[in-house]
Amino acid sequence: MSKKRKLKKNVTVAITAAVVIIAAVILIAILKNKPQTSVASSSSSVQSSSEAQQSSSSTPVSSTPASSGTGSSSSSAVNIVHDFGILMLVNKNNALPSNYTPNLITIPKSYYYTTDKDNHFDSRAATYLENMIDAGRKAGLSDLCILSGYRTYAYQQNNFDQHVKSYEASGETNAQAKIDAAKLVAPPGTSEHETGLAADVISSAWYKRNGTLTADFDNTDAGKWLRANCVNYGFILRYPEDKVDVTKYDYESWHFRFVGVDDAKKITDSGLCLEEYVAKN
């Protein structure tokens, strides 16, 4: 074979080898990079899913709104209530925002203990409350009446602040005064009265004699009738004696909360308080 042909053959072999090597390198790179891309995509997807789940499951948390002044009972945060349905849960751990205002209508002041009370009530519950009072009066409880119904956030704020000032005047620090005040008065945003769905219902004669609200109202004819009949008008006794550890409120034999007739009967029959019923359903 001539040197010329031999050189040409060697060049061809070298080129072929180079092409094969380059092709192999490219193929290896493709195979190597493809899993990395897939893993990166999968990782990104998992992270995105995790973030979305965290975002959707996180409840907005806040202490008493900044505008509430001394309204915060402690440094612990409370959930802000965003579900304003008839079964909305408002308590010491679930606060209404300061700008919440229910859809209100007026109730004649003849249903109230005194005419200076705010006589608005949630439009979904007002007629039921009137009917319950009417039925009680027809049953012989002529002095059955509402001591307190709807309260504004501002009213609750002022009420709470006055109790704080009273404790401070006795020598307590502001922090301790708030804690002690919260034992007697719900801090603003945490009172069911602000929903327009709760009412303190009493016998005016009993209240005049007693001078204040006490648990023994349940021994009066009015207290017994209300407890036996409130469910027929969509109300429940909100803070039962045997649920203090759940509601975190002392027994209030005069405080009734509208939840609708069907749920009122279910809650009462089940023996649950509202916190337990909402959690279960």
Residue in 151, 156, 164 with CA at minimum distance from that of residue 187: 156
What are the boundaries of each domain within the chain?
1-58, 67-280
CA–chain centroid gap for 240, Å, is 19
Distance (Å, whole) CA 193 – CA 43: 49
Write the DSSP assignment of 14-33 as a string of letters: HHHHHHHHHHHHHHHHHHHH
Mean pLDDT of the region 271-279: 97
The answer on pLDDT for 159 being more than 70 is yes
pLDDT per residue over 18-31, tens digit each?
555 666 655 555 55
Q: Kindly report the average pLDDT of the chain as a whole number.
A: 82
Strand-pair category, 198-203 with 252-258: antiparallel
pLDDT at 64: 28
Query: What are the backbone angles phi and psi of residue 112, rounded to the nearest 5°?
Result: -105, 155
pLDDT at 153: 95
pLDDT per residue over 125-158, tens digit each?
999 999 999 999 999 999 999 999 999 999 999 9
Q: How many helices (H) and strands (E) does the chain have?
A: 9, 9
Residue type, 200: D
Strand-pair category, 235-239 with 144-148: unpaired
Which residues are marked as active site? Answer: 252
Distance (Å, whole) CA 227 – CA 141: 14
Distance (Å, whole) CA 192 – CA 275: 13
The CATH architecture that domain 67-280 belongs to is 2-Layer Sandwich (3.30)
pLDDT cut 90: percent of the chain above it: 69
Give this prediction's pTM: 0.72
Residue in 150, 247, 264 with CA at minimum distance from that of residue 197: 150
Longest dimension (CA), the chain: 133
pLDDT per residue over 44-99, tens digit each?
332 333 333 333 332 222 222 323 333 333 335 689 998 899 999 999 999 999 99
Write the DSSP assignment of 155-168 as a string of letters: HHHHHHHHHHHHHH
